[in-house]
């Protein structure tokens, strides 16, 4: 049955704070003026990062991507800088290879014992920022993670009972990978957008295809708005981890192999910090074959996700406790209504 889902999840401490992550832009900085070719072959990372640095040095501004395909490795966001993806523009994730370039190395994280590799690092992404204020990415262009990997090791510790779905068995070995054992992450990028400890963030009006392990990872963010973003990916769509004051609205996320939108509280920051004051409204989640959502063909040939749970496309709530406590529990209400053909399946969880 065609349905849409609206979820409102609020912490026990209060409601969503009003206000948007917006600020007055100062001046346009065209990436082509800094040497970007936009031909899909030239590596445009240096030109793009130079344009962002110039905007930051000017006190803030808008970095413009005109129509074209900009092949890049890691792009470094800066405070008070907006990336504007014009119609027909694509930021294309380059494929790493010896002598051809690589993504930024994953930064050390002593707390990677407690969550998987993807949630423990941010530098190894197509677009990343840490400790930023007033940053935005707006459309209507596209981010294509063709060169990103969806794989990565699990937590850097032996697995224990309860770490995996029962469908994957109860085996536990130190250093087990989430998917292929021995996955080499050197030079790899595994997220389209990664943000850590950022404030006043706006993501609006663009699309992401093939987002890697996570199309959007936000960790420790405060005041983040994700509006009218379409994601068609092969693993997680949005992971909101240890964040507060989050508004996700009008988005469509197709993720047949994993979570469409996941609210969680990991230990990636080395501290206990709940995700709280979150609103998800007017969003669609689905589990159609990857790429067929944006293409409009809505195929359903895939019978099983890697966790053997069937095609997913779910909204998942994941906390440190299963109770309604201020230390990490959730209180929520949900409802459905007739609206769209893009419904696949949804799993509600408040896992320990």
Lowest mean pLDDT among 8-22, 160-174, 189-203, 287-301: 8-22
Q: pLDDT value at position 18?
A: 33
pTM assigned to the model: 0.79
The mean pLDDT value for 183-208 works out to: 92
Lowest mean pLDDT among 68-77, 110-119, 277-286, 324-333: 324-333
Report the CATH architecture of 4-13+32-156+187-296+310-351.
Answer: 3 Solenoid (2.160)
Residue 37 pLDDT > 70, yes or no?
yes
Residue 337 pLDDT > 70, yes or no?
no
Q: Considering only residues 243 and 330, tell me which one the structure prediction assigns the higher pLDDT.
A: 243
Contact 258, 287 (CB under 8 A): no
Residue 305 pLDDT > 60, yes or no?
yes
The mean pLDDT value for 271-289 works out to: 91
Q: pLDDT value at position 318?
A: 62
pLDDT per residue as tens digits for the range 45-75:
999 999 999 999 999 999 999 999 999 999 9
The mean pLDDT value for 104-130 works out to: 89
The mean pLDDT value for 167-183 works out to: 45
Contact 177, 199 (CB under 8 A): no
- Domain spans, the chain: 4-13+32-156+187-296+310-351
Q: pLDDT value at position 111?
A: 84
Q: Considering only residues 173 and 208, tell me which one the structure prediction assigns the higher pLDDT.
A: 208
Q: pLDDT grade, residue 153 (50/70/90)?
A: confident
Q: pLDDT grade, residue 303 (50/70/90)?
A: confident
Highest mean pLDDT among 115-119, 189-193, 309-313: 189-193
Q: Considering only residues 246 and 308, tell me which one the structure prediction assigns the higher pLDDT.
A: 246
Q: pLDDT value at position 311?
A: 65
pLDDT per residue as tens digits for the range 73-107:
999 999 999 999 999 999 999 999 888 899 999 98
Residue 319 pLDDT > 90, yes or no?
no
Residue 334 pLDDT > 60, yes or no?
no
Q: pLDDT value at position 293?
A: 92
Q: pLDDT value at position 312?
A: 72
Q: pLDDT value at position 254?
A: 94
pLDDT per residue as tens digits for the range 226-245:
999 999 998 899 999 999 99
Q: pLDDT grade, residue 12 (50/70/90)?
A: very low
Q: What percent of the chain has pLDDT over 90?
A: 54
Contact 278, 332 (CB under 8 A): no
Other C-beta atoms lying within 10 Å of the C-beta of residue 294:
17
Q: pLDDT value at position 241?
A: 94
- How confident is the prediction for the chain on average, in pLDDT? 79
Q: pLDDT value at position 161?
A: 63
Q: pLDDT value at position 110?
A: 84
């Amino acid at each position: 049955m065609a349905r849409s889902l609206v979820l409102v999840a609020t912490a026990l401490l209060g409601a969503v704070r009003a206000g948007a992550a917006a600020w007055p832009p100062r001046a346009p900085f065209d990436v082509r003026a800094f040497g970007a070719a936009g031909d899909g072959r030239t590596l445009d990372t240096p030109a793009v990062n130079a344009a962002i640095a110039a905007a930051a040095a000017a006190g803030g501004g808008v970095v413009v991507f005109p129509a074209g395909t900009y092949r890049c490795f890691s792009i470094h966001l800066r405070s008070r800088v907006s990336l504007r993806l014009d119609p027909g523009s694509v930021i294309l994730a380059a494929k790493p290879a010896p002598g051809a370039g690589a993504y930024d190395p994953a930064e050390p994280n002593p707390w990677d014992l407690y969550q998987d590799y993807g949630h423990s690092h941010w530098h190894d992404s197509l677009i990343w920022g840490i400790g930023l204020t007033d940053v935005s990415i707006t459309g209507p262009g596209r981010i294509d993670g063709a060169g990103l990997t969806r794989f990565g090791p699990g937590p850097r510790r032996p697995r224990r009972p309860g770490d995996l779905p029962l469908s994957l068995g109860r085996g536990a070995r130190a250093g087990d990978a989430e998917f292929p054992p021995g996955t080499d992450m050197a030079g790899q990028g595994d997220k389209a957008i990664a943000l850590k400890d950022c404030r006043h963030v706006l993501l609006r009006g663009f699309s992401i295809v093939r987002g890697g392990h996570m199309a959007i990872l936000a960790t420790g963010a405060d005041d983040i708005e994700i509006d009218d973003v379409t994601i068609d990916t092969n693993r997680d769509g949005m992971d909101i981890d240890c964040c507060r004051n989050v508004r996700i609205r009008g988005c469509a996320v197709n993720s047949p192999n994993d979570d469409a939108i996941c609210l969680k509280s990991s230990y990636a920051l080395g501290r206990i910090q709940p995700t709280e004051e979150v609103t998800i409204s007017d969003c669609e989640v689905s589990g159609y074959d990857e790429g067929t959502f944006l293409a409009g063909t809505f195929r359903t040939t895939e019978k099983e996700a890697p966790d053997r749970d069937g095609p997913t496309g779910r909204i998942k709530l994941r906390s440190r406790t299963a109770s309604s406590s201020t230390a990490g529990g959730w209180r929520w209400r949900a409802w459905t209504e007739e609206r769209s053909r893009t419904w696949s399946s949804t799993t509600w969880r408040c896992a320990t």
